[in-house]
Amino acid sequence: MKVQKEQSMLRQKQMLADHFEALSRAKESGRKVVYTFVPGNLTELIYTFDMLPVYPEINALQSGMRQRSRDLIRGAEETGYPEDVCSYVKCDIGMMLQGNVGPTGQVLPPPDLLLLSYTGCFVFMKWFENLKQLYPDAEIAMLHIPYQGDGSIEPGAVQYIVDQLEREVIPKCERVSGKKFDYGELAARLDLSGQAEELLSEVFDSARHTPSPIDAYFGGVYYVGPIFTAFRGSEQCVGYYRELLDEVNARVAAGQGPVTPEGPMVQENFRLVIEGPPNWTHFRDFWKLFYQQGAVVVGSSYTGVGGVYSDGFRHSGAQPLRSLAEYCLGCYTNRSLPQRIDLLADYITRYRADGLLVNSIKSCNSFSAGQLVMMRELEDRLEIPVGFIETDLVDPRYYSYSNIKNRLDSFFQMLEQRQSLGAGREVVA
Ligand code: SF4
């Protein structure tokens, strides 16, 4: 089967290929390399110092999609990492132990700086502690982001982060890159980020239409690609999102649904909101279980992991360091359970979802805890059908096709019965 792709997808593929190419030439071009995480990333700041970012989770998920993660995980387990450790970590460590050959087949350069933005997940810290052992020559900088445990940003939290940026992160970036910090350049980059985020928000908000012109989960992981990875704060990123929004608007005008790997979705039967990341090792099979039933995802929490924009946050060059701090604080991973519930409730009502599905990640002990509580709370509050499945990010041992299919079939039957009983939804064109 020839996989159907939107023009923006092809453009993104090329952007990523160019980035990996630049990484493979980092030594000869003299550019320093920063390993950092997607949630709370400081991409604009990294580029202000003309350094190149590497995101371990992106390498892991790309390895998963290319069927390489099984061997990499096994390699890490053979050196003593237990089975229930986060599979992103093992995939990443396994990749480094086997020569640090990235998902595109090119060797990735070692880090000059390990920049740990600590947002919500304790594993991030242990992950980089392990990387520091593998790369003892790399500098390490930690940016501590206070968790929104009480459901709001504590007074002083923004200033606390700004102080760390000024005293710890920026001086280390200057030292590693040999370049003086340029406040004006950072501000200009943040303004570009704000423009791209505005366009991305319009893309996600198009799910208010029926049929929805987008799939906010399976398509959504492509939509967030440039903003979650190496391109935030660039003209290229803004250009990508303009093109994407044009594509989406054209589908709205034509009354079309999202593009799936087998072409445009013809019939929208169910609208879902999903909590939890997708499975990467069987991504297309997993997606097919939905689109072959006419199920389209109109909202997902996963696409907020690298930044939540649906509540109006935009990076801005007006107060650059405060803007970075507010961004880090607001990432989905840094929000409390009640905040995550409210966000999902907002998506369910705003996009008139028929049901909520939780995809719990077997080896993500950080975010799977609490998902059943969230699901029950939303079921009671909104009287909406809910479903629960379990897969993994990049460990194929935890993907059971028949198990997931059975559960999804029951879930879709439940939605169908409810629709036949008259709990249908109004149509907004
Ligand atoms: S949030 Fe989950 S998947 Fe991400 S690093 Fe933490 S444990 Fe791993």
C-alpha angle 340-317-55 in degrees, rounded to nearest 5? 55
Q: Which atom of ligand 1 sits closest to the CA of residue 393?
A: 3
User: Residue 169, by phi and psi: left (phi above 0), alpha (psi -120 to 50) or beta?
Assistant: alpha
pTM of the predicted structure, to 2 decimals: 0.95
Q: What is d(CA 71, CA 77) in angstroms, rounded to the nearest whole number?
A: 10
Query: Atom 2 in ligand 1: which residue has the minimum CA distance?
Result: 364
Edge-to-edge strand order for the sheet containing 52-54?
52-54, 33-36, 113-118, 139-144
Closest CA to 70 of 361, 405, 399, 401: 399
The binding-site residues of ligand 1, defined as CB within 6 angstroms of any ligand atom, are 86, 88, 121, 123-124, 333, 364-367, 393
What separation in Å is there between the alpha carbon of 366 and the centre of ligand 1?
Answer: 6
Under a CB-based contact definition with an 8 Å cutoff, are residues 218 and 287 in contact? yes
The pLDDT tens digits along the chain (429 residues) read 677 777 888 999 999 999 999 999 999 999 999 999 999 999 999 999 999 999 999 999 999 999 999 999 999 999 999 998 999 999 999 999 999 999 889 999 999 999 999 998 989 999 999 999 999 999 999 999 999 999 999 989 999 999 999 999 999 999 999 999 999 999 999 999 999 999 999 999 999 999 999 999 999 999 999 999 999 999 999 999 999 999 999 999 999 999 999 999 989 999 999 999 999 999 999 999 999 999 999 999 999 999 999 999 999 999 999 999 999 999 999 999 999 999 999 999 999 999 999 999 999 988 888 999 999 999 999 999 999 999 999 999 999 999 999 999 999 999 999 998 876 544 333
Residue among 55, 91, 92, 124 to mutate when testing ligand 1 (max atoms within 8 A of CB): 124
